[in-house]
Amino acid sequence: MVLSGALVLGLHTLMTLLRPGGAGDIKADHMGSYGPAFYQSYGASGQFTHEFDGEQLFSVDLKKREAVWRLPEFGDFTHFDPQGGLASIAVIRAHLDVLVNRSNRTRATNVPPRVTILPKSHVELGQPNVLICIVGNIFPPVINVTWLRNGQTVTEGVAQTSFYSQPDHLFRKFHYLPFVPAADDVYDCRVEHWGLDGPLLGHWEPQVPPLPPDATETLVCALGLATGLVGIILVITGTRLSSAPR
């Protein structure tokens, strides 16, 4: 089955005039959206998505110029020509100036995103796992996300999804970091966005109860005391048995 681009085009038209406001490395001028397609006027940045029952099935990215399925298995059941998505983004790109002028260059409201970090599976120290940074409530869909371990940037193995739309016309995004939990390591997901006065940090660290510095000494002393008491009891018991009349 081939999905037609006409089936996934909505009637919602949105224009945004953007200016940097606190996220210094984010660069964009305008963003136009038509249904599930949106385009930001910086470089080759845009996205065309297809959703079913509120869940995204795939997206078409300008940089990759291919359909990227949310789960690889989805591509086994159907097919989509990415040229349809690219054409939709091209329409937005061509008419972006018109949308800007019609809006009287009104600047849209930047919505502060929310950040949540959680592990993919139960955390065991020394066992490989994946941290998931969920960034929601995003508008406009232009954002910088950086992983930090003990305050240092981590780039090896990181991955991310495309933007997923929300029913309220905001967006969400998922970022992933493979890691091996260690008791002394802490992780942060740093988010930069126009809706923030400064970088927003989502923090995570292993929930391992810290041991007091003298915990080992205390344990040894307790064991020694217990052993001594047992020895005394045995000596007393043996003395009583030996002195008992036969």
| Residue 2, strand partner residues | 79
Do 28 and 142 meet the contact criterion of CB atoms below 8 Å apart?
yes
Contact 67, 75 (CB under 8 A): yes
DSSP structural state of residue 109? P
For 94, other C-beta atoms within 10 Å of its C-beta total 11
CB 18 within 8 A of CB 142: yes
Choice between 160 and 149, residue whose per-residue pLDDT is larger: 149
Say if residue 140 is preceded by a cis peptide, omega within 30 of 0. Answer: yes
pLDDT at 33 over 70: no
Under a CB-based contact definition with an 8 Å cutoff, are residues 134 and 172 in contact?
yes
Q: Are 188 and 179 in contact (CB under 8 A)?
A: no
Angle at 187 between CA 184 and CA 189, to 5 degrees: 175
Look at residue 180 in the predicted model and tell me its pLDDT: 95
The CATH T-level fold of domain 31-103 is 3.10.320
Alpha-carbon distance of 109 to 97, in angstroms, equals: 19
Reduced to 3 states (helix: H, G, I; strand: E, B; else coil), residue 137 is strand
Q: Where in the chain is the domain with CATH 2.60.40.10?
A: 114-204
The CATH homologous superfamily to which domain 114-204 belongs is Immunoglobulins (2.60.40.10)
- In percent, the amount of the chain with pLDDT more than 70 equals 65
Mean pLDDT, residues 69-98 taken together: 79
Span 128-154, average pLDDT: 94
- List the structure tokens of 68: 């990227």
- pLDDT of res. 242: 55
Q: Specify the domain boundaries for CATH 3.10.320.10 within the chain.
A: 31-103
- Which band of pLDDT confidence, cut at 50, 70 and 90, is reported for residue 134? very high
The number of helices, as runs of H, and strands, as runs of E, in the chain is: 2, 15
H or E segment and range at residue 239:
helix 215-243
- Of residues 45 and 111, the one with the higher pLDDT is 111
Question: Closest Cα to residue 76, out of 57, 55, 49, 53?
Answer: 57
What residues are paired with 61 via a beta bridge? 47, 66
Calculate mean pLDDT across residues 220-238: 53
